[in-house]
Amino acid sequence: MAISRLWRNCLPFVGIMILVAVVLSLMFYALLWKAGNLADLPNLRIGFYNFCLWKEDIGSLECYNFPELEVLGVPQVGLALARLGVYGALVFTVFVPLPLLLAQYNRDKGEWHLAMGFLAASSVLLAGGLSLFLSFVWKWLRLSFLGPGFLALCLAQALLIILLVATVMFPPQDKKNENQWETC
């Protein structure tokens, strides 16, 4: 009886923490392991820090930096805002587990709301940064060109929304009896 009550109280929290770990893994994979490259093909490499197009006359990829990128139609401020969005989402997501753990241990709704705020900020920043970046580079991309980094960021975005809903639906329980062992 006590074990089933323990699992019933702990299961949503454990699920939330697993989802946070999955989101962090996806974001680290896409933004650090794949270096933010959304398309990484032999004839095209487009990412938050790489913009390389195939040049027929030299027979290889030619990478562009900022005077050339602005001529191509990629504004420097827009790219900086897109980078700020996606990498800022990673930073906010890194700060989610600690307030969740503290809220679960202390049964504090304020710490839980802080974690929800971090999740909401991460979700908005990731969606905004990714869509802003894609709006600048879409003329060189096709859906089939987008690679695993893009897929990981899209999955992370979906899971951030699910996490936000889960944290709203399953807040920590109030303290009932300090002598009873019912917490996770």
Tell me the domain boundaries of the chain. Answer: 2-39+73-169
Q: Which helix (H) or strand (E) holds 117?
A: helix 109-137
Tell me, what amino acid is at 90? L
Residue 28 clears pLDDT 80, i.e. is over it: yes
Residue 52 phi, psi dihedral angles, 5° rounding: -125, 130
Distances (CA, A) of 16 to 79, 111, 159, 160: 32, 15, 10, 10
Residue 179 clears pLDDT 50, i.e. is over it: no
How is residue 1 written in tokens?
């009886």
CB 84 within 8 A of CB 130: no
User: How many other C-beta atoms are found inside a 10 Å radius of the C-beta of residue 83?
Assistant: 17
Report which of 23, 18, 6, 53 is spatially closest to residue 154, judged by C-alpha positions. Answer: 23
* Gap between the Cα atoms of 115 and 61, Å rounded: 43
Please give the model's pTM, rounded to 2 decimal places.
Answer: 0.86
The pLDDT value recorded for residue 48 is: 92
The pLDDT value recorded for residue 66 is: 82
Question: By percentage, how much of the chain surpasses pLDDT 70?
Answer: 89
Q: What is the mean pLDDT of residues 119-138?
A: 95
The maximal CA–CA distance of the chain, rounded, in angstroms, is 77
Residue 177 clears pLDDT 70, i.e. is over it: no
Q: What is the mean pLDDT of residues 127-152?
A: 92
* Gap between the Cα atoms of 45 and 54, Å rounded: 9
Residue 60 phi, psi dihedral angles, 5° rounding: -155, 180
Q: Higher-confidence residue: 24 or 174?
A: 24
pLDDT in tens, 149-170: 999 999 999 999 999 999 999 8
Write down the residue that tokens 């504004």 correspond to.
Answer: 75
Least confident of 44-48, 120-124, 158-162: 44-48
Average pLDDT, the chain: 88
Angle at the Cα of 117 from the Cα atoms of 113 and 120, rounded to 5 degrees: 135
